[in-house]
Homo-oligomer: A and B are copies of this chain.
Amino acid sequence: MNEPQPAPRTKPEHWRDRWYEIIFEADTPAGKLFDVVLLVAILLSVLVIMLESVPSLDEHYGQEFGYAEWFFTILFTIEYAARISCARHPLRYIVSFYGIVDLLSILPTYLMFFAPLEMQSLGVIRALRLLRAFRIFKLAHMLTEASELRRAIWASRSKITVFLATVVIAVVIEGTALYLIEGDQDSGFTSIPQSMYWAIVTMTTVGYGDIAPVTPLGKFLAAIIMILGYSLIIVPTGIVSAELAHPGGKKTPHWVTTQVCPECMKEGHDSDATFCKYCGAQL
């Protein structure tokens, strides 16, 4: 919104350059308008696909949905063609992530037109059109913020790995424990993967209730994992929060190496340590 305007450039002369600026960039008023129109078209087309899947609506408005679908498909086909024709290296656009998404989101309508009888695979192909939703991310005015967020998350990736590893371990341990305790009850803990599904449902505080412990010991262990899950959310929140507040200077006071003391088997030595800080042995 308040983005600093880029230094004025000489007006592009070639029609391809002008169209390039409108379609691929969002610095000019025309480019911004193009983005907004595209956003509305994407959202409307996604809405149509979703409503089409409701049996009662499809029965009454099936034909209208079909017309709308063709309208959006043709619109996106024109846009796809325009992107190819005004890109300097059309092939690079075609094989880029968004190029493939653009193609996949228009192809199903044509495919269904030529092969409408294979009902089984139809659902999956039609659903491919929903990949259009991904194109929202392409709209340029979101990129700045998204890239800052991505940077903060990327900078915290090791901590997030530790966090996820902790969650996985807790889920494995807890799932197995509940399977052993409740396996012979009729409470749904029929296998370890099933118990782990329950552990994830519980730990993330979703709590469907389709599987729930019935024995006192099972409930006690469930209470522990609930409080663990409830408290665990702190850790990543704090990490990304601290990372966003102080970007760049992630000041770890000193680096801990991965060495294990050969004498006392303890870890956590500084990288400049020559002797084990626990037993004094040479590292």
**Contact of A103 with B by CB under 8 A:** no
Number of interface residues of A (CB under 8 A): 124
- State the main secondary structure of chain A at its contact with B: helix
With an 8 A cutoff between CB atoms, is A216 at the interface? yes
Does A63 lie at the interface of the complex (its beta carbon under 8 Å from any beta carbon of B)?
Answer: no
Pair A257/B162 contact, Cβ less than 8 Å: no
Q: Considering residues A4, A153, A169, A180, which has the most beta carbons from chain B within 10 angstroms of its beta carbon?
A: A169
Q: Is the pair B201, A207 in contact by a Cβ cutoff of 8 Å?
A: yes
Closest CB in chain B relative to A108 CB, distance in Å: 12
Instruction: Report how far A51 CA is from B273 CA in the complex, Å.
Output: 44
CB-contacts of A35-75 with B (<8 A):
46, 49-51, 53-55
Best-surrounded residue of A1, A7, A149 (most CB of chain B within 10 A):
A149
Q: Quick one: given A180-B124, A205-B205, A265-B92, are A235 and B149 in contact (CB under 8 Å)? A: yes
Please tell me if A117 contacts chain B, counting CB pairs below 8 Å. Answer: no
Instruction: Given A143-B268, A147-B256, A207-B209, output 9 extra A-B contacts at Cβ < 8 Å.
Output: A7-B272, A27-B257, A133-B168, A207-B207, A209-B210, A233-B233, A234-B236, A242-B245, A248-B253
